[in-house]
Structure 1
């Protein structure tokens, strides 16, 4: 196998490799994510193949394999652009769900990171016309932002207006390893805070069944934006505050630690690189007696910004430092609660959709990973998707957290609660009897 160039992995790629190792159960397809992209009218399968070939040329992560994965120094190997033709899937005789089913079918292929390209893709046709490009990406080659970058590049290539090719993961890996002083500072930042993380949220070994549901709310976004403007904090921090308050209220706990998903794309050079840059940036929130909601939100905002700014680090080096210091629970990947603010989403839901009027249960994308994974997106409304385990929360708890977050945001905007403890998480929407069971 000819290799064009090779070198160490990035901190984000290493985090994916260690996540797969530590957050099982073994699931060879759990790291694959499906994507569905409509094609412009009149585009042919031949044109899509040409665009895909150019895409692979411009983005090395899409033709990278990995060696010595379990070692201290995994290696990424960039292969030449392969000569291939994307398969065509005709759905002329199939129903409306056929496109999404074709995309999810691609995720069922287990990928060997040592030998396989980290993606699968196909062109969808209906009645002789190419209508969609569907793909499945292993998380190591593209996080959410990376997949959006792929979609943008494909659209630009098909339109005949591509932007200059961007930076590559090997260049990021070299930059990260050259910044020795900064990396040492980040490692000690986390070590100094390690004992403050809630032990209850640090087991990382929950193997019970995961369920998943989505709630979509126009009032929640309006409320979050109002609080953001009033307090001069980000909408992201307001949503994170609501998540802490809802979870603590519903579980009766006084503190919680969330592993925030740091995008690590602050630099313009890395803003759209196709790779996985996400890493955990944990923080603890513990409302104090008598603390006002506004003060709590400001505290969460400041703490989260500090955590995000220290979100790029070598997880193996951090573990070694924590072991050397004899810290409890030194595995950096084993946090139970993840919070991922995914930003602007194109998805919206009509008022009659279950997600807009109650909660919409979905088949979980994976059964591995953290016990509590909350993704929040904005757009026309605010979208909350929560996947949680039976042991950590259970299906009633999932519905309670989702509806509780909506209620908390509305109360934060109203500003009537004297302190955090007085905020009511009672749902403002009715959970109907047909919306209380998860899809398995």
Structure 2
């Protein structure tokens, strides 16, 4: 398999059976086309694109030389709009990774819907498939597709490909090792709340402002919006920076520009707070470009590296903040202006998820925030602040601190240690769970978190037990002490 295929199988594995592995697109059929012409176009599309007839199992990919695609036929009505083919999860080892439906009006085809396994395509590949199907339905001849997932796997197994992938793993291992511990360390102010508050923003003035900022800084439009959100987030959380988990499309090589397969992978873009918003925009743009250089990696090797970092640091490698840039691919209905709440029950995988849906003509963004950490009004205020900050910065540089929501109050039990906010009571509870009540006392000494233990305690074994308990806890603000000092005997052991 390619690393892209491995990556998708890794992150959807726990979701199967479910819709997490499915992407879709819809193509208009030219007037006067027959069902036979639609079938021929679908057959040619699948024939030219090996990804659409590739099965993956036991770590390998297999390209089918022949097969049958059964397309659903749906007659359109005035009220029915769910014309996509079945949403049943794909079995990558047994199912062709494509399904089709043909929507008819009075028996004549007028739309074709495709659903494709994410193992076979990413968002850019879906755009390519939609354009090629439209061309085939119009009777146009396409040049042969020259590069396929099997070709990609051959490159990744070559010495040059292996060096490239190992270099990326080394880079990300260093990023994880240097990442601030629990940069999103916030108290659960509403511990009984469930899910996320979800809001959407639509703004034409912000789109005009982004164009002005891009002209003055030379940054790309997504960096402007990402920097605005990250600046307000760090101001609210009271931390000097954060790391943004972002997808990189990885299509910088010429052979990948028209490639149908899955090559997008997650990268980490570091953000550092600044009193100058325009400086933050330039830094974010540069940080994103640096991260994208290492956007292709073997997910299994990276998981190993992350595990080593977690054990050494005594903290899970949380995905604190996820940023999704789906411009050109989103079907979200945005507000005409301002911020509106959403009650779609969407499940988010991180405490904060920021979605960029549109950048041309109108800014379209979404924010999901863990309901245990914030109120619905705070979530709306944070996203609304993104618009206000961007619009203000179009007239000149501004300090982001004046555009967000008031900083969160943590209470006396929280301290700054190990470059992050730490919940001392939460750490003490994890230590008590690992060693027993009263065996160790945790406190902050300067920028270090220290556990004092009795003279008869095996410090190394205690440290390992506490790290294991903290990793199981998996909660922001709970980290393993960096030093263990004996209460008697004076011995110390660094950890």
1:271-310 Cα distance to aligned partner (Å, 9 max, x none): 121222111111221314xx42221111111111101111
- For structure 1, the residue ranges without an aligned partner over 5 or more in a row are 1-8, 69-73, 427-440
Deviation at 1:254, TM superposition (A): 3.6
Aligned pairs for 1:215-234 within 5 A: 215-234=201-220
> Offset at 1:392?
5.7
Q: Which residue of 2 is the match for residue 16 of structure 1? A: 8
Q: Is the 8 A contact 1:25 1:367 kept in 2?
A: no
In the alignment, the residues of structure 1 paired with residue 114 and residue 197 of structure 2 have an alpha-carbon distance, to the nearest angstrom, of 24
Please name the residue that 1:315 is paired with.
299
Is residue 80 of structure 1 aligned with residue 70 of structure 2? no
Distance in 2, Cα, partners of 1:88 & 1:295: 54
Q: Which residue of 2 aligns with 1:292?
A: 276
Deviation at 1:328, TM superposition (A): 4.1
Per-residue Cα deviation, 1:100-122 (whole angstroms, up to 9, x for no partner): x232x622x12211111223220
Q: Aligned with 1:339: secondary structure?
A: strand
Residue deviations 1:317-344 (CA, integer Å, cap 9, x gap): 1223444565448988x52422222344
Whether the aligned pair in 2 keeps the contact of 1:245 and 1:408 (CA below 8 Å) is no
Report the Cα offset of residue 88 of structure 1.
0.6
Q: Which residue of 2 aligns with 1:132?
A: 111
- Distance in 1 (CA, whole Å) between partners of 2:107 and 2:197 is 38
Gaps of 5+ in 2: 186-192, 406-495
For 2:168, the equivalent position in structure 1 comes to 186
What CA distance in whole angstroms lies between the structure 1 residues aligned with 2:54 and 2:31?
32
2:359 pairs, out of 378, 394, 407, with 378
Name the structure 1 match of 2:395: 414
Q: Is the 8 A contact 1:153 1:162 kept in 2?
A: no
Bigger radius of gyration among the two: 2
Is the Cα–Cα contact under 8 Å of residues 345 and 378 in structure 1 kept in the other structure? no
Q: 1:50 aligned to 40, 51, 57, which one?
A: 40
Corresponding pairs, count: 394
TM-aligned CA deviation for residue 250 of structure 1: 4.1
Q: Which residue of 2 aligns with 1:150?
A: 129
In structure 2, relative to structure 1, the CA distance for the partners of 1:375 and 1:348 (3 Å cut) is closer
Out of 274, 280, 286, the residue aligned to residue 302 of structure 1 is: 286
Tell me by how many angstroms 1:395 deviates: 4.4
Q: Quote how far apart the aligned CAs of 1:313 are.
A: 0.5
Q: Return closer, same or farther for 1:327/1:177 CA change in 2, 3 Å cut-off.
A: farther
Residues in 1 aligned to 2:139 and 2:44: alpha-carbon distance in whole angstroms: 12
User: What pairs up with 1:334-353 in 2 under 5 angstroms?
Assistant: 335-344=319-328
How many Å separate the matches in 1 of 2:169 and 2:31?
Answer: 51
Q: 2:23 touches 2:123 (CA, 8 Å); kept in 1?
A: no
| CA drift at 1:312 | 0.5
For residues 58-109 of structure 1, the C-alpha deviation after alignment (integer angstroms, 9 at most, x for no partner) is 11111122112xxxxx2122112322341210123x41xx23x232x622x1
In structure 1, what is the Cα distance between the partners aligned to 2:337 and 2:332?
A: 9
Q: Does 1:30 align with 2:16?
A: no
TM-score, with length taken from structure 1: 0.80
Query: Residue 319 of structure 1 contacts residue 330 of structure 1 at CA under 8 Å; is this kept in 2?
Result: no
Instruction: Pick closer, same or farther for the CA change 1:260–1:79 going to 2, 3 Å.
Output: same
Alignment of 1:416-431 (within 5 A): 416-417=397-398, 419-422=399-402, 424-425=403-404
**Structure 1 range deviating more: 228-237 or 43-52:** 43-52
Could you tell me whether the CA contact under 8 Å between 2:200 and 2:339 is conserved in 1?
no
Cα 1:110–1:37, aligned 2, differ >3 Å: closer, same or farther?
same
Shift of 1:191: 1.6
Q: Deviations over 1:155-193 (max 9, x none)?
A: 111122243224111111222232232222222211222
- With structure 2 as the length reference, what TM-score do the two structures score? 0.72
Alpha-carbon distance between aligned partners in 2 of 1:161 and 1:208, rounded to the nearest angstrom: 52
Greater relative CO, 1 or 2 (CA 8 Å, sep 6+)? 1
The CA distance in 2 between the partners of 1:76 and 1:127, in whole Å, is 41
CA shift in 2, pair 1:208/1:150, >3 Å:
farther
